[in-house]
Chains A and B, each alone.
Chain A
Amino acid sequence: MYRIIQSVLVALLLLAAVPTGLRAEDGLRDLVNALGEAKLSEVDEHIAALAKTGDPKVVPVLEALGEGNLYARKADGQVFLTKESGSNLTLTDPVSGESAGEAPKASLSKVKVNNSVRRAVRTALGSLTLLSPDRNARLKAVQSVLQSPNADALGAIENALAAEKDGEVRAMLEQARATTLIISDRPTEEKKEAVRLLKENGGREALSILSSALGSADETLKPDIEAALASIEQTQALWAAGQNVWYGLSLGSVLLLAAIGLAITFGVMGIINMAHGEMVMLGAYTTFLVQEVLRTSFPALFDWSLAIALPLAFIVTGTVGLAMERGVIRFLYGRPLETLLATWGISLILQQSVRSIFGPTNREVGNPSWMSGAFELGGLTITWNRLWIIVFALAVFAGLLFLLKKTPMGLQMRAVTQNRRMASSMGIRTPWVDALTFALGSGIAGMAGVALSQIDNVSPNLGQGYIIDSFMVVVFGGVGNLWGTLVGAFSLGILNKFLEPYAGAVLGKILVLVLIILFIQKRPRGLFALKGRAVEA
């Protein structure tokens, strides 16, 4: 009996509490605070309720929620927008937007978010910011509407469309309207028009929305959707071939970068340098060190980190290469087997020293902002980091070609490798030319490491992954010929990328190897064989 009375009393109290809450001046604050108490599964509803208010104050709250910067104070359940400052959090009042001081992290609990909450936030923010005065905010809003189409947002989109002046945003809004229209309950005539528009614009999003609408569409609309799907798929298939070429070029540029240093040390000098991969790794670790220093001391310069790391990596690995040549390799000229073993030993030493100094785990090398993300070119998705790596690889190649063909140092290098005794009797200090050539090859490998740190992991094993590929490219292209390396790298890259969709990554790689073996049988000296005296050396 006592229990019942108690629960009735509690219920009464709760009932009394609710109206006072609503009577409070600011309903918004209650809605925001409710987020702090809600379970993960209930947060979606609270977000919808917040979005319904249409209050612009909601936008920063939702943004903070999506980014995980919304915390509830444990003492009184007040929810704040926060910003990290050391071990404390700076609090901002969500309603007034005023600062509310700092508080230690332990006294606050984070409002939990998961993917479904983030999706709800994105949808809500999309329709809330469609009318924002900032063009970029509007563009982002339309994109998020496009990504998670929601029939309820149709009204908001049409309003925004009526007010929109900017061409690009307008075009996207049109597409967003068509996308949402298809899943809304508008008349079939309007839908047909929307399908036509989507068919014209194509794209993955259109494909996705049309195929999901196909199931529930009524009979008169179905043929239209099917025709649109077929036409989009056809254009997509065409673009896919183009995309494969692009991927091939990009893989080729990575191969070129990895191999170009080897084209000097192995191709020009004939040294089987198994420590080549470790030079790439040292270059990547130099980038890591540069970024560490920049992060702690000059965070503003972070976007320049790669530009700073490039010459440093060249110097570091060039010096290591010079030391290797002077210390070990020069005693082993003309003894390929011993050179192979010695350089392999050096590669293990370098690997293990890096492992002891930096630890066995991966090191984080960040992408500068200009190397992150992707852009669309027609139906192609082009990622910035890959684009820059292609540009960089070609620049390095051109630079090297210039150095070898147009400078006195290049002339000496070629002279020494083609006929050592003659060069020597002409007054060239052949030992130093050897050392410098080897240092140059190593230095270039180091520069490749700077670029590869952007797409691969920076760990002591980095180099191992590239050594086989590098030798493959140099041998395939023709030993001693820079152009051969270029053509070899790009043709292997493209071949690999065309095989991969059909044969899978594992079999694709095997097939490429088999093809190379067959090719070498036919042409033992590679694509562009050197002729003349250099062959005998």
Chain B
Amino acid sequence: MTIRARVTGAFLAAVLSTTAFNGAFAAEDTIKVGILHSLSGTMAISETTLKDAMLMLIEEQNKKGGLLGKKLEAVVVDPASDWPLFAEKARELISVDKVSAVFGCWTSVSRKSVLPVFEELNSILFYPVQYEGEESQRNVFYTGAAPNQQAIPAVDYLMENEEVERWVLAGTDYVYPRTTNKILEAYLIAKGVKPEDIMINYTPFGHSDWQTIVSDIKKFGSAGKKTAVVSTINGDANVPFYKELANQGIKAEDIPVVAFSVGEEELAGLDTGPLVGHLAAWNYFQSVDNPTNAEFIETWKAYTKNDKRVTNDPMEAHYIGFNMWLKAVEKAGTTDTDAVLDAMIGISVPNLSGGYSTMMPNHHITKPVLIGEIQSDGQFETVWETPGLVVGDEWSDYLPDSKDLISDWRAPMSCGNFNVATGKCGGKGS
């Protein structure tokens, strides 16, 4: 190639790429969906699965004919468990790749880091993980559980069925466990539990030496009252924690541990024999027996070509969120953000636990709450579930500075933190 030809080539390429940028052609053929999950770094352990699940859902939808007569196209980026990088990658997805909606984030800190980007560029984020609440944002749909859809029912279960009187609240030291434990502590005290019967303990991310804490729990549990551990321990720290529990002989019959961040995926790395009976609270278990779930599991195993792959609660949240988004886009007839935001509220789609989930005006969804016991095969067996669906409550009623707040994104209120005491929009979290 001569120099001249090279220059022309480069020029042509530049022109082509600018036109593609403007969406003059090529971009119209597909509807793009952004996937913002860490594929490397510490959170890859949980988030990679969600990326795969989204790719599967998009592929399935394309088999059914896509959306609005167009094919869906997944745009995958890797924010590498680096919180500021989440914001950068979100910006790239929205302004460079022009995606219509983004499915992503796991930790609360990553969500907090992308919030301003979604607000500024007016796009949509579906957040699939159980979180601490105290937030409701116009551009975000929270398809995971709020505290009242997971933590509070779990504590109720322990109080009623196991007659627990003494509580250990153990968590990893970051925003989700701290806020959840604050809510739980206020709730327990409101229920008449004495402050000296509550022990709160925080550990760093990836804590691996649990000897002291487990023996403290044992000691705390030998005061003659039934004791339970409520665990908001996150990520990698769980495996050594459960191993230490098993080795020090803490049985579920004596001191049950109820976890909010341990699902089928986390148990896959553990010998669950000694852990039978310890509990987890979620809105979905792989073991839930109904045809929709059976089909989902089958598709998942076929998609990953691995018969041993498990499904879990955040995957179900993406399943719900994705189907809600499809329905809302169909209803609005466009992928335009404002139209879809309006259309989303009130959309109802089947969930995998055998019912329907509905998007509420506070951008949270309705879900059943299930309590499951760990089985020796690494699955959970549901031992209790709420009689009906629970509506996600974004502003906890048990915290003094959020109990007066409500969220309603329908016109005319259109406010994520409306203070019913002062009658004004705005307050904490604005």
Contact = CB atoms under 8 A, between A and B. Distances in A.
Contacts of B225: 212
Contact of B269 (A40, A363, A383): A363
A140 to B, nearest CB: 13
Interface in B33-81: 39-42, 44-45, 48-49
A254 B248 contact: no
B133 interface: no
Interface residues of A, number: 65
Contacts of A112: 381, 383
Interface in B215-233: 215-216, 218-219, 221-225
A204 B209 CA distance: 22
Dominant SS among interface residues on chain A: helix
A60 interface: no
Interface in A356-382: 359-364, 366-367, 372-374, 381
A207 interface: yes
Given A114-B383, A115-B277, A205 B222 contact: yes
Contacts of B239: 362, 456-457
Interface stretch (A315-323, A334-342, A500-508): A500-508
B201 interface: yes
Given A456-B208, A456-B239, A383 B222 contact: no
A181 interface: no
B271 A367 contact: yes
A207 B222 contact: yes
A460 B219 CA distance: 34
Interface string B260-275: 0000011011110010
A225 B127 CA distance: 55
Contacts of B268: 361-362, 364
A465 B208 CA distance: 9
A211 B224 contact: yes
A373 to B, nearest CB: 6
B208 A250 contact: no
Contact of A381 (B161, B215, B221): B215
A84 B386 CA distance: 32
Given A361-B269, A457-B239, A506-B173, A210 B212 contact: no
B201 A455 contact: no
Nearest to A236: B219
A497 interface: yes
Given A118-B277, A122-B253, A247-B211, A384 B373 contact: no
B243 interface: yes
Contacts of A362: 45, 236, 239, 266, 268-270
Contacts of A254: 208-209
A264 B219 CA distance: 41
B207 interface: yes
Contacts of B215: 243, 247, 381
A234 interface: no
A325 B348 CA distance: 60
B224 A364 contact: no
A247 B206 CA distance: 18
A506 B276 CA distance: 30
21 contacts: A119-B253, A205-B222, A207-B222, A209-B224, A211-B222, A211-B223, A244-B212, A247-B212, A361-B48, A362-B268, A362-B270, A364-B268, A373-B247, A383-B244, A456-B208, A459-B45, A459-B236, A461-B42, A500-B212, A504-B201, A505-B213
Interface of B: 39-42, 44-45, 48-49, 161-162, 173, 201-204, 206-209, 211-213, 215-216, 218-219, 221-225, 236, 238-240, 243-244, 246-249, 252-254, 256, 265-266, 268-271, 274, 276-277, 373, 375-376, 381, 383
Closest 8 CB pairs of A and B: A362-B269, A212-B224, A457-B239, A211-B224, A208-B222, A383-B247, A204-B222, A360-B44
